[in-house]
Amino acid sequence: MSLAADIGPMGKVIKYAPNERRDWNAFLGMVIFLGSWIMLFGGIFLTYGALRARAEIWPPLDMPPLPLDFPAMNTLVIVLSSASLQIGLNGVKAGKTHLLQWGLPVTTVLGTLFIVLQSVVWFDLWQEGLQFTSGPYASVFYAITTFHAAHVLIGLGALLWLSIQSWRGMYTPARYLSIRLWAMYWHFVGIIWGFIFLTVYVL
């Protein structure tokens, strides 16, 4: 149908909202979404805290202690990945698209490295007898780390797609909304990892 005929003399009808406005809306939506997700992880951390508070000994004596070396490396990896993504994002903002075109794949590789290192940790602990069914200590460890890793995997999928898109030249200083939103997501996942590293591995 023709819009002009139905709407009459408006002259102001637009087909798409201005980019700036849509970016702002999406940004706000993302903030609310991450707020929700903080509560989701918050519930899980709360359970961890409650279980640990009522345990007499943590970790239990017959359970293998959690390693620190690989998780510490992973913390470094995730910090670097966040940095490379941010460099890419700042790059595209400033018109240096090549920074984005390299930043995204580097982030993807670092994210993959994170998953690999985390898998080594899981594999070793599983061999040493720390399994899903080994009581609350193992429950907390596996639930938190796997749930977090699932978020990393979703992020990796997105980063891969964004990398391809960036090499196709889809992002310009005027149009890089999805980079911005996924960067927020990625930083969020990184911060959650920081909490996991501190509360699950270090303390």
Partner 1 sequence: MVELQPIHEVPESFIKRWIFSGDHKVIAKQFLWAGLLFLAFGGTLAMMIRWQWAYPGEKVPVLGDLFLSAQGGVVTPSTYATLFTTHGLIMVFWAITPLLIGAFGNLVIPLMIGARDMAFPWLNMASFWVFFLSQLMVIASFLVELGGAAAGWTTYPPLSTNVGTPGYGQSIMVAALFVTGIATIMGALNYITTIIRFRAPGMTYMRMPLTIWAMFLTSILNALFVPVLGSAGLLLLFDRTFGTSFFIAGAAGVQGQGDPIVFQHLFWIFGHPEVYILILPAWGIVGDLVSFFTRKPHYWYKGSVFAMIAVTVVSAVVYGHHMYVTGMNPLLSHTFMLLTLIISIPAEVLFLNWLHTMWKGSMQLTTPMLFALGTIFVFGLGGLTGIVLGTISTDIYLHDTMWVVGHFHFTMASASFLAIFAGTYFWFPKMYGRMMDEKLGRLHFAFSLIFITLLFGGQLAAGYGGHQRRLFDPYQYTFLEHLLPLNRAVSHAAFALAFGQIFFVINFFKSLVSGKEAGDNPWNVGTLEWTISSPPPMHNFDVIPTVRRGPHEFANPDVKEALGRDFLYQDEEMPENVEEPQGALAQLA
Per CB under 8 A, the list member of 19, 43, 68, 76 interacting with partner 1 is 43
String of contacts with partner 1 for each residue 55-94, x by CB under 8 A? x----x-x--------------------------------
- Cα 203 to Cα 194: distance, rounded to the nearest angstrom: 12
Q: Is 189 in the site for partner 1 (CB under 8 A)?
A: no
Pair 121, 67: CB distance under 8 Å: yes
d(CA 189, CA 87): 17
Asked if residue 24 lies in contact with residue 17, where contact means CB atoms within 8 angstroms, the answer is no
145 near partner 1, judged by CB under 8 A: no
Other CB atoms within a 10 A radius of the CB of residue 169 amount to 9
Among 39, 68, 73, 164, binds partner 1 (CB under 8 A): 39
Q: Is the dihedral of CA 148, 154, 160, 162 positive or negative?
A: negative
**Sites of contact with partner 1 (CB under 8 A):** 1, 3, 6-8, 10, 12-18, 21, 24-26, 28-29, 32-33, 35-37, 39-44, 46-47, 50-51, 54-55, 60, 62, 132-140, 142-143, 147
